[in-house]
Amino acid sequence: MAEKLRLGLIGASVRGTWSSRSHLPALQASADVELTAVCTTRADTAEAARQKAALEAGKHVYCEWPLGQTTAEAEELAALAKAKGLATAVGLQARVNPAVMYMREQVTAGSIGEIMAVHVSMIRDGVLTRPSHRTWQRDAALGANTLTIANGHTIDAMRFVAGDFTRLSAVVATQAKQWLDTGSNSWLDVTAPDNVLVSGWLKNGAVASSHVGAVPFAGSGYRMEIYGREGTLVASGADSPQLSEVVLHGAKRDGALVPMPVPERFTVASAGTPSGEAFNVGQMYARFAAAIRAGDSGLPDFATAVELHHLVDAIQRASDTGQEVTFG
């Protein structure tokens, strides 16, 4: 085993955050990466981080998605990393979910033939309330909402497996125009979108549709359906493949859908990595370590993030204009 890579974690709060639920447990189990420094939201450490950015210091960087608040910010970071020859990774963890990787392999190998139609849905409940520390997300201008995060992860998994859009139409809607702040018990106005519908054509000629939404109650979870000339593949789960385990079913021609166990070779996270939200983050760390040590490992990197930022922009533009948008 090569010496562990030394890692500094920016945003290392241990109070119920994404970092504490996923990154820290994955790092504790990692055989590849050693956590050696942390930076929190305390003013002194935050200022120190601001003055000495990781890319400028020549460090390889794994950043969560979205890469920037805007596409321009993402492009600037990607250009800087490329100029310095640094390895990068972006937290589009669905791309390292074992079932999604296996699904992609099956599609690429032609097991279901020519792709004719694709449908994806990811519906979560809980749109009407937020705890006080998350109410800032109600402002669409801040860039952290259903369009960018839930839709970004979901539609990126689709394009990873089935291919990218070439033309699309979209509806980006804010259906819940107020949230209840459960800390202050007050209602707050909301501009952030909570439902995103996309339909169009993929570059391979397939038609595709996607609905990502936050609803009041009993969300139906995640489902990606790919219909080919020779068969069908369906991935499903209680939540996004970014966050949780999904199961894969397949059918050949006129046969029924049957379970498709995922081969062990798609699991690269260190032994002992917890299941759930931490697992795919563990997958990312293992692949990122391989990329640093040996070069390209097929990880989603900053260039991947820039492509997805452009796609999210195209979806918003299609919704704003009510017209089909050409993409790519």
Pairing of strands 178-181, 33-39: unpaired
- CATH code of the domain containing 202: 3.30.360.10
Give a yes or no: residue 98 inside a domain: yes
Taking only the tens place, the pLDDT of each residue in 244-269 is 999 999 999 989 999 999 999 999 99
Does 46 have pLDDT greater than 60? no
> What's the token pair of residue 164?
């990218």
Residue 235 · residue 112 · CB < 8 Å: no
Residue 302 · residue 67 · CB < 8 Å: yes
Does 52 have pLDDT greater than 80? no
Phi, psi of 161 (to 5 degrees): -85, -45
Does 43 have pLDDT greater than 60? no
Find the range with the poorest average confidence among 43-52, 85-94, 288-297, 310-319. Answer: 43-52
Does 15 have pLDDT greater than 70? no
Does 40 have pLDDT greater than 80? no
Domains identified in the chain, total number: 1
Taking only the tens place, the pLDDT of each residue in 70-100 is 999 999 999 999 999 999 999 999 999 999 9
Does 48 have pLDDT greater than 70? no
Give a yes or no: residue 41 inside a domain: no
* DSSP string for residues in 45-99: HHHHHHHS-TTTTT--EEEPSSSSSSHHHHHHHHHHHHHHT--EEE--GGGG-HH
Give a yes or no: residue 102 inside a domain: yes
> What's the token pair of residue 116?
């004719």
Give a yes or no: residue 13 inside a domain: no
The predicted structure's pLDDT at residue 50: 46
Distance CA 294, CA 265 (A): 19
CA angle 144, 274, 162 (to 5 degrees): 55
Give Rg (Cα) of the chain: 20
Give a yes or no: residue 226 inside a domain: yes
14 — pLDDT class (breaks 50, 70, 90): low
Q: Report the share of the chain in percent with pLDDT over 90.
A: 84
Distance CA 247, CA 260 (A): 8
Give a yes or no: residue 288 inside a domain: no
The predicted structure's pLDDT at residue 17: 81
Does 310 have pLDDT greater than 50? yes
Q: What is the DSSP letter of 3?
A: P
Give a yes or no: residue 225 inside a domain: yes
2 — pLDDT class (breaks 50, 70, 90): low
| Cis, bond preceding 193 (omega within 30 deg of 0) | no
Cβ neighbours, 10 Å, residue 202? 21
Strand ranges for the chain from DSSP E: 5-10, 33-39, 61-63, 88-90, 115-125, 129-130, 165-173, 178-181, 186-189, 195-202, 207-215, 221-228, 231-237, 247-252, 258-259, 325-326
Structural domain range at position 164? 94-261+302-326
Give a yes or no: residue 138 inside a domain: yes
Cβ neighbours, 10 Å, residue 80? 16
